[in-house]
Amino acid sequence: MDAVCRKKFKVPFYSLENKHDVDMLVKYISINNRGFFVSFKKMVVQFYYSDPKIWKTLSYDGPPQPRGFMDYSEPPKLTKK
């Protein structure tokens, strides 16, 4: 982002002082680099939802492995902690 900002606005990214400039930069990059933003968004979502601290806020106990779904029709019973 900094390189694009320097090329487009002639200043480093950290020096953008208002929301309008940041929004314009994001719009410019997203139009010209859609693939990057799609990949970046996917990566951010994957990192966010792979964090066990986030699982707790979502009342999610984690993936079924290694316990697994032994009978393949219902999830394992919740254990009291």
Domain range annotation of the chain: 1-81
Residue 8: name the closest of 43, 33, 41 by CA: 33
Residues 30-43 as b or e (16 or more Cβ within 10 Å = b): eeeeeeeeeeeeee
Question: pLDDT digits over 14-40, tens only?
Answer: 888 888 888 887 888 777 777 877 888
This model's pTM is above 0.85: no
Nearest CA to 7 out of 25, 30, 31, 27 is that of: 25
**Cα-based distances in Å from 56 to 27, 50, 61:** 34, 11, 7
